[in-house]
Structure 1
Amino acid sequence: MSTTLRPEPADLATQRSTAPFRAVRFAPVEIDVRQRDDGVVMVTNRQPLGELPVRQIGDYLRRHARQKPEQTFLAEPDPQGGWTRLGYAQARRRVDGLSQWLLDRKLPDDRPIMVLSENSIHHALLQLAAIQIGIPVMPISAAYSLMSRTCSKVGSLVRRFQPSLIYASDPVRYGNALRLAKSLGEALLVSDKPEDGLIDALLQDAFETAPTAELERRYERIGLDDTARLLLTSGSTGDPKAVIMTHRNTIASGVLWDQVWPFLNDRPPVLLDWLPWNHTAGTHGTFSMALRHGGTLYIDDGKPVPQLIGRSIAHLRELRPNVMVNVPRGLDMLVASMEADPSIADDLFPNLEVIIYGGAALSSATLHKLEHFSAMATGRRIPITSSLGSTETTMPATMGWWPPETLGTLGLPAPGVEAKLVPDGERYEVRFRGEIITPGYYLDPQACQAAFDEEGFLKTGDAVAWATPGTPEHGLVYAGRLAENFKLSTGTWVHVAIVRGELLEYLRPCVADIVLAAPNQHALGALLFIDFNRVRKQFSECAELSDEAIARHGPLKDLLAQGIREYNARFPGSSTRIARALLLESPPSIDAGEITDKGHINQRGVLALRDQAVQRLYCADADGDDCLVFDSGA
């Protein structure tokens, strides 16, 4: 089966803009591709990784505190509608005071500091204070505390890792998680507000501690191979693993990024970002980029959800960042906002040099529209690129640094990264080696051993293909997760990521996500997670209906059936054609492991937990009120 299902769109509404790309200072594309006798393809960047400029992450803060003390480092929205700003010199004073406070409490460096709450100035300062004295920080998803009734994942993590300190900004919002954690360990509970009988200390008080010579002695002991952070994997295949991120990993990741994007050195980056710091994209992307270059990070209190996207749009119009790091859902909603109000593009694009996204595939329609809006606002298209990385690779292992000829490319290996492409049919399993790669998993030697092959390459579990076979300069494209794919009873492989991505193009915006079913069945089926909020807006008669009633709403079923018929007409093969679909009555559950804290659907988890739905899907006839069945001629 080909790894590219859909040809370039033929209708004018989805044609790419022909405007020239804006001039951005990228590095030249110089890649070596070598095929070994065993069929493995080795891909490396001819530009070696540059010298690491600092010995530990804290050196960046100290450098900028000396050179640009009044420059805003961090900013967050204040209650009056403005911004609370913190300069580099002030940030260093607070960080050093907090580091001394941690030392005074003799916190061990073999037990992490756990952060439960969202991005904030205080969260950032706590991370930097701990990291510069060798205490690893473990930020975890706020969803584990706020979206879970039982906070079971918080409890599991506290038992496993026994944090020495747990921070949550609001002791009321995070009260259930904090009380559970207090019952399971001996962590010091710290917050921004008092809560009698629960909170042991206030972070604001700790900032006022006077540093001593002990702080400098501890600071000087920390080097490249000391642990800075412990970031959790999504846990889609079991309990989350804690990935060790050293100072070397983080610093090297920044160096390779700056080598292929040298324009970052031309002016300090201004970034607006909501990406959570328990994910590598947020902490090693935007947060590290601002710190590394002495730029400014505005912490966005908006998100790509209907009730908050307006906040993000307002901030973008006000701040006009020069680099955007986002996820496909965020870019989809940005485009929808610009379609409703094209003046947003006039505010955003003149100062924006590049957009980079990751975490999932971005629809071709959104990519085309972003290019068109950019061209309308500035006369030139903005480069839009993606990357391939994971928590274990710190941030980007591959990335793009050229105007993309092929939309959706993952780019190519960055300097200092070796990519090993292991043949897997018409695609390749991709593995990486380099200074950005984690040394392993915290307190999990078995996982460490399983993660690397005999040559020391990290086994990512991802598959890739060439965007343009024979022209490696065009980059790689994503070809799915190896573990997600399954065989039908005919022996035909279903490439889940590819089919899912193409099918979603025909079912948006009413379908939020899709799980393909099922191994060993005779035909391909689809479980459809409905975007109930979008349906209520699109069908006025659904405004007051329950989720269960919407899943049986005739006009919605007709619309989705038409989309699947159009998809099937284009992809009639047995491994791509949808024979049956079931509209699910409830969204995926984070408590049940159907969706990860990163918002990714857990294909195998959904199939296991919704086995009855799968059985109904394959037993259903055309009269089922929540099923869609397509005969061979559909």
Structure 2
Amino acid sequence: MSRHIPETIQAIEPLRPDAPFREVDFAPVDVLLTPQPDGSLILSNRQPLAALPVTQIGEYLRHHAAQRPHQTFLAEPGADGQWQRLTYAQALTKANAVSQWLLDQQLPAGRPVLILSENSINQALLQFAAMQIGVPVMPVSPAYSLMSEACGKIADLSQRFLPALIYAGNSRRFAKALAVARAHSPDALWLCDDNVNADAIPFDRAAATSPTHAVEEAFGRVGHDTIARLLLTSGSTGSPKAVIMTQRNIIASGVLWDQVWPFLAKEPLVMVDWLPWNHTAGAHGALAMVLRHGGTLYLDDGKPVPHLIGRTVQHLRDIKPNVMTNVPRGLDMLVAAMEDDPAIAKDIFARLNAIVYGGASLAPNTLLKLEQLSAQATGRRIPISSSLGSTETTMPATLIWWPPKVLGTLGLPAPGVEAKLVPLGDRYEIRFRGPNITRGYYNDDAANQKSYDEEGFMLTGDAVVFADDEHPEEGLFYAGRLSENFKLATGTWVSVATVRGNLLPQLHPFVTDAVLTGHDRNELGALFFLNTSQIRKRLAGAADLDDAALTQFAPLQDIIREGIERHNRNFPGSSTRIARALLLDSPPSIDDNEITDKGYINQSGVLKRRAEAVKRLYDGQTLDSDCLIIDT
């Protein structure tokens, strides 16, 4: 068989609507597949990367401030619920003022600006101000400050990178993290939006500085190879590494995207986005895309969580963006809202030209529903694009730039990107090389030495397959994270991402995530994290039970067992069939490395912390009441 389309995708293909796709101007699909003497394949785009139009991203801000000074660049919800707007001219004026203030502080070279808090206009101004004069910024996940009891990662980062400046919008909210960071980098300056602490410098004071010619001189010294950002990896295998993002990386990533999506330049770009700027998808997706095209970015104060998704839905309905970036969980929740109220779909899809998602696989049913809902609302299907990328690839390395014949692929390498496909059984390990790929990790020679092969391709640790071996232009499918996969005692490999992707839809909405077990054992098992709020809401008799009691609640166990059995009927093989499961009575812990700041489960971290639970799961046939044995 030359086709490798997952069974879950094959199942929804007959259900796709036959409505035409929205007319969107995409580049031609023209890729080259070149066999190598060692058996690997090089997959590349025949369209070369265009010349980089600017030397640093600050030039985009200057260009648009001159061409469209009164247009809104950034908008954020104010205390009164109204949008607080910043024009391009205002953004440039304030960025230059903060640049001068930074120069006046004579910050030690090579020490970054550590940003603790969420997206905001002031954070954007600080980032632009620092990057345009050659001061690297290191935005970190707010979860490290707000979800951690000890702020251990903040302590680690402050010790290793010795920030010269620490910024948090709200000093009271981030008081614990600020104290930890300052304890480990005691000479760092402290910048906050408020006037609560005498030691902190108010952001407004920095933004009121009068620029001098020193700003222009520093601006002129910044080149393509100047470090702009230091973005952190998830730290799933230890301390987060700081990925070097040069001006070249960021500019090239934008150029390759614009080449295959030329429609971005056809009308003013309007986006509503919550993706955090400490992740490449937020910083180099929405924020950078809007800046390149002189568009408007509305900073969404909603998120894909039950108590905030309503804010996102309302913002999308009011603004009606023409491009949407999101994560799978966000799209799942938007689909649920649109199914409850079809008027929401009419508003959200009114001007939308494309949806792009990444970070994890999107459930096939959500892909199908997005096509169906957009066709029902507008008479046209909205193109849905996934991508394969990482912090190290800036964003993206692969992308879809055609109306997808097959849903759920990762697309193909964009212009300037080469993908090396190294055979690995029935899959390929994928590696990348190109001007958007990081040159390495900041102050981490050991990581750099093991992150690239002898030809300079970055090792991603990801596996892929072609949708169709004979037609590579149909794209690639994700085939798992190599470090997560394991062998059963029979020697059979288990593809963790594939099994989880097929299993979790059968357990929705009662299970938030699953970790697979069975390394060197005869049977595949699973640890389940429960969606306790949905269980208490939906199941009679569950409302007053604590988390431990829920794991032993018979009606819930019956639902979980039935979901697993449905999965097993679809996937009966030894490497896919779940033979036993355990319901966990506590959520994953960010402090114990069980969950990344993106909200994704760290398989190895959970198995390490829950080793006793795994042992209990496999100890004999008589198990505790929170364990399930699934009949053959």
TM-score interval, normalised by the smaller of the two chains:
over 0.9
Q: Quote the residue 2:428 is aligned against.
A: 428
Partner Cα distance (1:3, 1:22) in 2: 27
1:442 and 2:442 correspond: yes
SS in 1 for 2:350: helix
Aligned partners of 1:75 and 1:620: how far apart in 2?
59
SS in structure 2 at match of 1:90: helix
Correspondence list, 1:173-322, <5 A: 173-185=173-185, 186-197=187-198, 199-322=199-322
Residues 135-187 of structure 1: CA distance to partner in whole angstroms, max 9, x if unpaired?
A: 00000000000001111110110000000000000000100011111221111
Is the Cα contact below 8 Å between 2:596 and 2:602 reproduced in 1? yes
> In angstroms, what is the RMSD of aligned CA positions?
1.4
**Distance (whole Å) between structure 2 residues aligned to residue 625 and residue 540 of structure 1:** 20
Residue 544 of structure 1 and its aligned partner are, at CA, apart by 2.5
Deviations 1:489-539 (A, max 9, x none): 111111111011111121111111110003111100000111111212221
> Is residue 2:483 matched to residue 1:483?
yes
Match of 1:551 in 2: 551
Contact kept, 8 Å, 1:109 with 1:134, in 2: the verdict is no
- Conserved 8 A contact 2:400-2:411: yes
Matches within 5 A, 1:71-82: 71-82=71-82
Q: What's the counterpart of residue 353 of structure 2?
A: 353
Separation (CA, whole Å) in 2 of partners of 1:462 and 1:565: 29
In structure 1, the partner of 2:512 is: 512
Which amino acid in 1 is paired with 2:564? I
Distance 2:427 2:584 in 1: 32
How far apart are residue 38 of structure 1 and its match?
1.8
Unaligned runs of 5+ in 2: none
Give the partner amino acid of 1:273. D
Post-superposition Cα deviations, 1:161-215, rounded to whole Å, max 9, x if no partner, equal 0000000000001000111112211110110112335x42011111010000111
- Contact map agreement 2:617 2:623 (CA 8 A) in 1: no
Q: Which TM-score applies when normalising by structure 1?
A: 0.98
Gaps of 5+ in 1: none
Equivalent position amino acid for 2:354 in 1: V
Displacement of 1:10 in angstroms is 5.0
Letter in 2 for 1:42: I
Aligned 8 A contact 2:371 2:382 in 1: yes
Partner residue of 1:470?
470
**Alpha-carbon shift at residue 569 of structure 1 (Å):** 1.1
Whether the aligned pair in 2 keeps the contact of 1:5 and 1:571 (CA below 8 Å) is no
Taking the aligned partners of 1:273 and 1:8, their CA distance within structure 2 comes to 28
Report the 3-state secondary structure (helix = DSSP H, G, I; strand = E; otherwise coil) of the residue aligned with 2:385. Answer: strand
State how far apart, in whole Å, the 1-side matches of 2:528 and 2:202 are.
46
Q: How does 1:328-477 map to 2 (within 5 A)?
A: 328-477=328-477
1:145 paired to 2:145: yes
Matched with 1:157 is 157
Identity between Structure 1 and Structure 2 (%): 60
Q: Tell me the distance in 2 between the aligned counterparts of 1:361 and 1:136.
A: 32
Separation in 1, partners of 2:63, 2:622: 68
C-alpha contact 1:393 1:438 (8 A) present in aligned 2: yes
SS in 2 for 1:463: strand
1:616 aligned partner, one-letter code: R
Do the aligned partners of residues 7 and 597 (structure 1) sit closer, same or farther apart at CA in structure 2, a change above 3 Å counting? Answer: closer
Name the amino acid aligned to 1:498: T
Identify if the C-alpha distance between structure 1 residues 10 and 149 changes in structure 2 by more than 3 Å, giving closer, same or farther.
closer
Where has structure 1 moved over 6 Å in runs of 4 or more?
Answer: none
- How far apart, in 2, do the equivalents of 1:329 and 1:620 lie? 37
Matched residue, 1:61 = 61
Q: Distance in 1 between matches of 2:570 and 2:618?
A: 23
Give the whole-Å Cα distance in 2 for the aligned partners of 1:16 and 1:536. 34
Q: Partners in 2 of 1:74 and 1:7 — Cα distance?
A: 40
SS at match of 1:158: helix
Q: Which amino acid aligns with 1:580?
A: R
- The alpha-carbon distance between structure 1 residues 170 and 620, as it changes in their structure 2 partners (threshold 3 A), is farther
8 Å Cα contact 1:3-1:426 kept in structure 2:
no
Q: How many residues align?
A: 630
Distance in 2 (alpha carbons) for counterparts of 1:365 and 1:11 = 7
How far residue 622 of structure 1 moved from its aligned partner, in angstroms, is: 6.0
The Cα shift of 1:469 comes to 2.3
Rounded to whole Å, the distance in 1 between the matches of 2:513 and 2:114 is: 31
Q: Which amino acid aligns with 2:73?
A: F
Residue 450 of structure 2: SS of its match in structure 1? helix
Counterpart residue identity of residue 252, structure 1: A
Q: Residue type matched to 2:192 in 1? A: S
Aligned-partner SS, 1:451: coil
Cα deviations across residues 265-319 of structure 1 (Å, max 9, x unaligned)?
1012101100000000000000000111000110000000000000000000000
Shift of 1:23: 0.8
Per the TM alignment, residue 3 of structure 1 is displaced from its structure 2 partner at its CA by: 6.3
Structure-2-length-normalised TM-score: 0.98
User: CA, structure 1 residues 140+90, in 2 after alignment: closer, same or farther (shift >3 Å)?
Assistant: same
Residue number in structure 2 paired with 1:19: 19
Residue deviations 1:9-39 (CA, integer Å, cap 9, x gap): 6589x82112111111000000011112321
